Structure 1
Amino acid sequence: MPKRTATLVEGLRLGSKGLTNLRLAFALLILIILVNGGLLLKSFHEVKQGQKWVTHTHDVLSTAELVLSSLKDEETGYRGYYLAKGDDRFLEPYRAARSAIDRDMAHLQYLVMDNPQQTKNVEILKDAVYEKQAIMEKGLVKLRTTKDFESMDIEVLNEGRVSMDKVRVLAGNMKDEEKKLLTSRSENDRTSTSFVDSSLWASLFLNLFLAAIAYILLKRNSITQNEEKWMQEKLAALAVSLSGDLDLEELGKKTLQFFAATLNAPVSSMYHVEGALLRRISTYGFDEGLLQRTRERDLDEGMLGETVQNKRIFWLDEPPANYLKVNSDLGSGSIESLAVIPLVLENKTIAVMELGMLNSRSLPVEKLIERSSEIIARNMGSAENRSRLQDLLEETQAQAEELQTQQEELRVTNEELTEQATALNLSQDKLIQQQEELRQTNDQLEDQASILRDQQENLETKAEELETAKVALEDRAKALEQASHYKSEFLANMSHELRTPLNSMLILSTLLQENADGNLSEEQISFAATIQNAGNDLLSLINDILDLSKVEAGKLDIYIEDINLSNMAESLKRSFTPLAASKHLEFSIDMESGLPTEITCDQKRLEQIVRNFLSNAFKFTEKGKVAVQISRPAPDLELVRNSDRRNELIAISVTDSGIGIPIEKQKLIFEAFSQADSSTSRKYGGTGLGLTICRELAALLGGEMILKSELGKGSVFTLVLPQTYVASDAPAVVEHKPQRVVAPVSIASDSKTSDGNTYESHRIKDDRDDIKDGDKVVLIVEDDAAFIKILSAAAQKMGFKVLCAIDGDQALADLKNFKPSGVLLDMKLPGVSGLGLIETIKSTPATRHIPVHVISGVDVSQNALRMGALGYLLKPVSSDQLKGAFQKIEDMISRRVRRVLIVEDDERQRHAISRLIQGSDVETDAVGLAKEAHELVRKNSYDCMILDLRLPDKSGLELLDALAQDKTTIRPPVIVYTGKELSRDEILQLRRYSDSIIIKGVKSPERLVDEVSLFLHRVEAHLPETQQQLLQESRKGHKPFQGQKVLLVDDDLRNTFALMSALEPKGLKIHVARNGFEALAKLEEVEGIDLVLMDIMMPEMDGYTAMREIRKDPKKQALPIIALTAKAMRGDQEKCIEAGANDYLPKPIDLERLLSVLKAWLPQTGEF
């Protein structure tokens, strides 16, 4: 063409004639070019339109196939729900497929809107699909309503089958119609392409240069369109190939076969992502050497792992010659390119393919691989769902087979019992024969009995004489018993008369010491402390008197248990080392080698004796040392009891270098209130009742006390007792039978009972000596030893180390010393009760994060959960429930992030609350509508929900009602956070659901942070500094009882004044009654009494009668009543509970215990 153009130019130069022809030629050329350009434009347009319609047809086919596939998935989920007997997990593919059908059906309508016939077909198909969905929905509703999973209505099944067949036929008709259109449009496309080629050739003859350019451009465009058409055909072929119910291996095999045929990939493999591993599920073209390699590999290993993580296709062009060989019978060769393709579904890599191709990488190949991976991933996701469903079905079948095996074993057992019954009948026949032989023997004995009758007559005469003596002894015993009764009554009344004023003195001295108004001097505060110390000494003395009276009456109970000598020695050392340091005395405890590790004795009484020895030693020693020696009795030690069993005795000696005791005074110090120095100028006080009680306790334990002392050189007190307690060694022993309270639980009674008898803290063997840093430790607080063993075994099976405590006092000590990971708690405990223990744990910053799960026979779940308990189970409990309780504790301590749902209609408030409680361990979801909140609670699990009552679509109370009625949701702990002023009725309604109610005010953010951290079990020390400051501010001015009404019933004005002085500053409104009659009148007169503090011993009507009268009123069945008594007799607590009290506190009242009781029973609501 350039040569021809040059010739024409040369002709123009030769003459005007040539110029004219050249102009004509150029004109003609330009005209032809314009015409040819128009034809080319038209051809291009037709080809483009043809390609568009081919693509459109493929889209219609693909979308129709997706609708049919999603309907199959929906039917699969429906069948899985039926076969799994109502397991909601199988409804997830059902719901997902339902959403996908709506989306794909809408897209299908959009695609065929240009074709009236196909539009009509789509409408018919849509009706058939929705008909099928309605049939499944009807069946699902029926299953949920009847819960009958054993049978299925044949008509429903047949109706569903016919409907599904109809859908398949309609979908097939649509696809047939589209295939016809595809054939027609492909033919038109080929015709257009042929016309374009002809036009190009014509242009070549007219203008080689321009035609060449046009040809190149057209050819490129044609290639691109052909490639796209090729790609669409291949994708359609792949979709058809992967259709059907294929498992993962079959799907992988067909996929690799497709790529082998399409991309000339003779060697390939596919791996499925399973947890942290990649498992090879299919290969193509592998030789034996490659197949022998491991089928599994780590997820982060090599190119495959990197592709899974990056979710991008990895290409390796021109791999090394020895990288991978392709072998066949005709020869071998190397691959030219390698592709590692991730299969990503919903932004998650579920599998990865490795293709080795003989051709180099090209753009069409890359596009085909990229677009086909989406189809493969989608089909693989469906295959995974089908695989999971199949596994669950097989598991169900295996369980059914196991049940059948157990039934067969039961039948065999019944047959064995039948055989045993036959053998028993034979034994009975033999026994009848033996009875006949015995009858003959009895006849012989009757003869001998006649001889003995004469002797019996003589014995009867003597028996009458003994009976007379017995009657006389019984009269004396009754007289002694009556005297003992009078003594007990005297001690009880004396205790009441002393404790009543003592109660007022201790409470008022405590208030003076606190100096809340700040108007007392240091000296006056010191006076108040002196008054309180003197009162406590007097209380201790009263308890000692009661102890001594029980010892003398032989009614002091002792409880035998295993005692670890090393642990006891360590406990004594910890207790007395500070005292020794303060007095600058040496203090040591030594144990002789060869002693047993444990002895059996009453630990509390043993420690009481040794501690009394040590207290006296330090009291009477100014300089030198105090030493404890645990050993066998020395050979020169004179023993009165058990002298023939020295090798079975343990001697505990306390030696001091104190003032010593003269020989003539050594017997006197064991008498009550005796003193070695009785002069008015004596330097030291006496021993009180301590040594007198110790001497009696030593005898009860089967041992004895020995004193060696020399004036001015010191003393040695030695306790000798058997290493194994024998009941015959002691004159009076009462077997330990823990008392059980069956009425409402006692919350915070003193660790000592009113009669001075400390509750026994029997140590049950646990893991306290084997606990290391990093161990998961659970503290089990339960007074039933048999149940403790069950709980311990369950805890250890779950991987916990176990601490055991049978009362609240020991539990508090273990909490302080060991900081367990969780607590399993009974409500009915001696000493500090369950609710009191929860209050102590949750009010202490160092322990409030520890999760507490309750297992009890008493239902006070609302109180316990409001105070921060993790869960509540009522006895009896099953092994599954126990496992669930420990699993809750495990989840709470192992889960680092807590989730909180904020329901607030004000967007600024939502953001403010979210920022207020935010932290690295807290995730928040915030919504403004009740409907949105309900949906989130149904889908997700939350640790806490913060709820405003004023919402646009419904009130917060209506939302709580809806959540309670929705059996498919688990309602999290709820904190009501609202600016609405609440009436008493509204508060009572909210109390059914809400664990805390906060009225928005000046201090409400601090209170909200406090409550959220409580329910999330957050470690306060790990909170952000701003939140820690908020918690501290919240506790400074917090009045938890603001506005609560308490009725105080007590006839002693001193007690009334003291308690009012202590409680009114806490925000309580106190109403006073002087006896039971006035209390009943006050309850009728004053509306809204929240709690009653009831004294027992009152004139006119006592506390027992008043409580019974209150409980007769149905409206006051739920009114909390706390009994207060100063009468120190056994059984007072049980009598109070039986009369209707919810709790019991002995006088003198400990203010901390009283406040714990009030927090447990009074709802804390108000503005903060």
Structure 2
Amino acid sequence: MMGKNRFGIRSKIMIGYMFIIVCLTISFVLVNFQVTSMQKDRNYIIEHDFAVHNETNRIEKYVMDMESGQRGYLLTGILSYLEPYNLGESKWRESYSRLSQLTRDNIIQEQNLSSIKASIERWLQQSGGNSVSSMKNNVNNETYYDYNFLLGKQIIDDIRSQLDRFRSVEMGLTKQRAAHLDAQNQMLTKSLFVMLAIVLIFSIAASILISRSIVGTIKQVTRSIMNLSSSKRDRSKRIHVTINDEVRDLAEATNVLLENQEEMEWQQRKLTEVVHMLQGISDLETLGKSFISKAAELFDASFGLLYLRSSYEGKESMVKLASYAVMGGSEGIGVHHFQLGEGLVGQCAVEKRMFHLTKVPDSYITLASGLGTAKAQSVLIVPILHNKEVIAVMELASFDKFTPLQLELLEDILEVLGTIVHSVQTRVEVERLLKEYQIMTEELQTQQEELHMTNEQLEEQNRYAEVRSRELENIKASFEEHAIQLQQSSQYKSEFLANMSHELRTPLNSVLILSQMLQENKQGSLTKEEQEYARVIHSSGNDLLHLINDILDLSKVEAGKLDIHVCEMNVSELPDILRSQFAKVAEQQNLTFSIVRDAQVPDIFYTDEQRLSQIIKNLLSNAFKFTHKGSVQVNLGMCSEEQIREFLPLAKHKQVLAISVKDTGIGISPEKQQLIFEPFRQADGTTNRKYGGTGLGLSISRELARLLGGRVTMQSEEGVGSSFTLYVPSLEQAFNETESMQKEAAAATSPMISDFLLRDAYKKAADPAERNNFSGRKVLVVDDDVRNVFALSNAFEKEGILVSVAHNGQECLEIMKKDQDIDLILMDIMMPVMDGYEAMRMIRKDTRFEKVPIIALTAKAMKQDRDICLQAGASDYISKPLNLSQLLSLMRVWLTK
């Protein structure tokens, strides 16, 4: 489309601009040259002519100075008058030399200057010098002086005349040079106007030519585009352009647009003809014949076949529906049916794409007429789709190749044809179904009577189903009521255990305190035997306390109310702790007790140290209980990744500590190995069993391990021994979160001492110097149990504490009104008249006692007791039975604070 000698609009515009730029550049160069020349002449006038005039004036000045100096000296005889004379005589030659240099290019001025020099020298020789020397020699000849004055004046007048002529000549030269500058300036102005006229003429001519070549074609394009929107439009006209530039590209693009528009209108017109032709056809055969004939006309085809998708001999196939220009009987040319994927027709139906064959073999198909036969040049096999499914396939053959315009028209027709074919198929199917419906209606009428009978039977069955439904609802209500009863039973059980804990711990509290005081025998009034009795009583009380704690722990676990407190556990101290607790037991039973710690076990491990120690103690207690000879061994190690995947799959990326307790005891038979983890169950559960215990240890250990995120496994062989292994993961993340929350809570609940600081205080009894800080301190014990009051009073009085006693909250308030110097209050919770909660609230309302430490005492030891006590106003909380050393440590902390 583009010629070799393409001269685009951009090139034209660039050449025009370049021409203007070149003209302006030439003008600038010429103007600059002329201005430079004029500047040079102007500088010459300024520098040369002014210098000539200046030097001429200086020579005249020097001559006048010499004359006046000579005259003054001759008249007065004073030597100071000779200074101008002497200066002028020495300077006029310098000015003459400079003036000679300035006028050396002008012969006339050189001659004039030589005459001036001769006149000055003659004056100096005849008048100036002689007069002065004669005066100095005291020659007194007035006639001589008069003569010299007259002669000198005449010469001076000549010098002035000569200098005036010299200046006049120089002034004339200056005017000539100025006139020459004026002529150059006029020439420059004329040149500028000429160059501007040339640039304007060429610029206007170039703009006219370029705009004419652009605007003319654009007008033609505009007219053609306007014709597109007019109702009476002529698409046959084309735009003709002789120039080879972008305007020609625009014209050719417009011509292509006109051709495309003409083709689109032709396609739309033909598509409309096809749609109108196929409207109203109600059977597939008529539709197929009509369409294949119209397709042959539109696409210049000499042969055509239309296949419809349907079932043939039980298989999905493409069955011939209609043909065009078929010869050879009713079947004619063409296969009657194709299975899907069979031949090009079947493959076209599978792949849903068009096959356009342009290199047809000679033996493929021959098209015939009355005049002869010839082979096809092009074959077209196209799918007809509806909802992306092939419902028909058309095959066309032609002497010529199918053009792109025909193929585009074919695509438009196929989009509509699929909907039309499907519509006709649907109409045929509806008619078929209508006929079947009529037949079925007749059959249904005959079956209605039978259904009537069946309905009566169904009604009977529905009545029976309703009865069964009501029974199921009753059963469901019974189950729900049973569930509520179970929940209430669990609640009653928890409350019962809490109350039993209180009832058991209250007398046990005084037993433990008094037995501990007797065992310590600080006054030395008991014999060793009596001390041993006290020790046995204290030990039995502790055993009873442990049993109560086990029952409560099991109750809390079952109720889901047992909390864990994650902290930093020093694993390196664990072996020493276990040895201190069980070494004596091993020695008494003549057993080997060893603890092995793997080097990979870290010194610090994050878990609930109390619960972990409780599990290990339970396992060791069982091991020593059921082992008569041999050994008990504790192994501390870390789990491998395989063990973690096997035993604790949820602890994927955590450290897992494995603590195993292995013994050489009696072992457990296989049938009883699962029973031992059930509460209150033992391998030997008879009343005359050899080994004692309640059977709670392993059950509690299993539940505590589960709370810690771990598990307990067992391997045992009867008569050989058992091995229990505790797998527990590190809870470092939970520790960090808890520690952060505790710090925030500690800051928010000031002035209460935070929980972890109190735990540290329990673990530390104070320096000996601090042990006597109870002396003289007033402590009010509020408890309705006289046994506890008796035990605590005796213990406190031995520490030097002044003890006051109240048996309920009301008495406590009355005592505090009378004695406002109470240093600390021990407040029992469950009391008659006014319980501890109400008493603490009343105390905190009084501003005088808002800072008095109150330690709450309770034997219920349930999960929520501590929070309720602190909310009621307690400074701290401790459960019964009391550990006297722990209680004194806690009191010391609060009294110190």
TM class by shorter chain equals: 0.3 to 0.5
Q: TM-score, normalised by structure 2?
A: 0.40
Higher helix share: 2
Q: TM-score, normalised by structure 1?
A: 0.32
